[in-house]
């Protein structure tokens, strides 16, 4: 069967019925529920066949948080607040880092070993680490794909640097492709993928179109924030979770350079993330405005339009009330995305918008 560059079968008239039968679900089928494999305080954050993410601003210690998750999987013991229980045949972990040099990646391996109670230079049969920094996005995807195809014993895949699997973080088509790969890899190879993506510096929104896709499809998104009063402490909470929410917790880095739980710590109340429409890709605005205006060709009055904007942007994961929509409308008018027409407003179907780039 022919496959495309991502090892996915190409649907043709000849193989259509075979593919259709392979994806059909019948009421009489007996389908196993994916096992819970990683949890925090009794709340499931990861199951086999799904993917999750850690997010946070630069220097928030996202990778330290991921190190704790890996150590919990390797040892079967509680690390920070993470507990893991993978099937015996799926206990192997592979870590792909797309950003750091080999030296920095080696230090990260040492940290994971210390958290796991192993010597710094211990090579576990259950853990492999690869740095992909010197390859381009397409080859990074291919390396991961081909590795997973050859290793059926992998239970957890870490992709530290999801952004580096794309050429353009604001490309809607490329973002959909990459999220599609995470969905297919996790399902086809019956494993869990945990990835890392930065937040914008100016707000708590995940970066680019890939961030929006991640919000829609991930099983859990963990957010790691620096404490505003004490920068040595990082706080972890569930930004998005399918299971019940877990109590946030905090950690600091000890003298050995590994994260340790901060006990009896009062978590800083979270502010609602800002809605930075200036950073959003044109395609996202189009999707939201298509819902807001529908097939309406007549000018929409001010108050009904605010309600429609609220509904439209909610469909792309931006849920805000009237006061934010007032500012949004001003922004859309300023950029000639919406035009004033008498007492109402019309969508400029031919608008073109280049988003600002977060610092």
pLDDT of residue 3: 59
Decide if pLDDT at 301 tops 50.
yes
pTM listed for this prediction: 0.73
Label residue 150 left, alpha or beta by phi (over 0 means left) and psi (-120 to 50 means alpha).
alpha
Helix (H) or strand (E) holding 87: none
Q: Could you report the per-residue pLDDT of 273-286, keeping only the tens digit for each?
A: 556 677 777 888 88
Domains located in the chain, CATH noted? 33-261 (3.40.50.300), 277-347 (1.10.10)
Q: Could you report the per-residue pLDDT of 169-185, keeping only the tens digit for each?
A: 878 888 889 999 999 99
Decide if pLDDT at 359 tops 50.
no
Question: What DSSP assignment string belongs to 211-266?
Answer: HHHHHHH-SEEEEEEE-SS-TTEEEEEEEEESS-----EEEEE-TTS-EEE--S--
Q: What is the mean pLDDT of residues 344-354?
A: 89
Percent of the chain at pLDDT exceeding 70: 92
pLDDT of residue 269: 63
pLDDT of residue 198: 80
pLDDT of residue 346: 93
C-alpha to C-alpha distance for 2 and 7, rounded to whole angstroms:
9
pLDDT of residue 358: 46
């Amino acid at each position: 069967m022919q496959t495309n560059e991502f090892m996915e079968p190409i649907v043709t008239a000849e193989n259509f019925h075979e593919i259709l039968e392979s994806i059909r679900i019948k009421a009489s089928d007996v389908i196993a529920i994916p096992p819970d494999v990683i949890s925090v305080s009794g709340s499931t954050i990861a199951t086999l066949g799904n993917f999750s993410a850690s997010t946070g601003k630069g220097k928030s210690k996202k990778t330290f948080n991921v190190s704790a998750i890996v150590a919990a999987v390797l040892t079967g013991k509680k690390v920070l607040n993470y507990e893991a229980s993978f099937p015996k045949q799926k206990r192997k972990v592979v870590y792909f880092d797309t950003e750091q040099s080999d030296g920095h990646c080696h230090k990260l391996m040492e940290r994971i070993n210390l958290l796991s109670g192993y010597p710094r230079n211990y090579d576990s049969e259950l853990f492999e680490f690869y740095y992909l920094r010197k390859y381009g996005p397409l080859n990074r995807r291919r390396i991961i794909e081909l590795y997973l195809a050859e290793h059926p014993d992998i239970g957890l895949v870490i992709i530290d640097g999801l952004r580096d699997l794309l050429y353009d973080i604001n490309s809607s088509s490329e973002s959909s492709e990459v999220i599609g790969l995470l969905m297919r890899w996790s399902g086809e190879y019956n494993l869990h993928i945990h990835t890392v993506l930065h937040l914008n510096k100016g707000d708590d929104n995940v970066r680019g179109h890939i961030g929006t896709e991640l919000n829609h499809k991930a099983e859990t998104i963990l957010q790691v924030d620096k404490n505003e009063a004490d920068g040595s402490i990082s706080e972890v909470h569930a930004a998005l979770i399918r299971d019940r929410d877990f109590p946030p917790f905090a950690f600091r880095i000890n003298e050995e350079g590994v994260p340790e739980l901060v006990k009896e710590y009062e978590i800083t109340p979270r502010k609602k993330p800002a809605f930075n429409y200036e950073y959003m890709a044109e395609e996202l605005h189009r999707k939201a405005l298509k819902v807001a205006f529908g097939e309406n060709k007549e000018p929409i009055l001010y108050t009904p339009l605010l309600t429609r904007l609220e509904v439209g942007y909610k469909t792309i994961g931006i849920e805000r009330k009237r006061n934010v929509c007032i500012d949004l409308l001003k922004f859309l008018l300023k950029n000639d995305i919406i035009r004033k027409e008498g007492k109402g407003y019309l969508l400029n179907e031919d608008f073109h918008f280049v988003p600002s780039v977060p610092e």
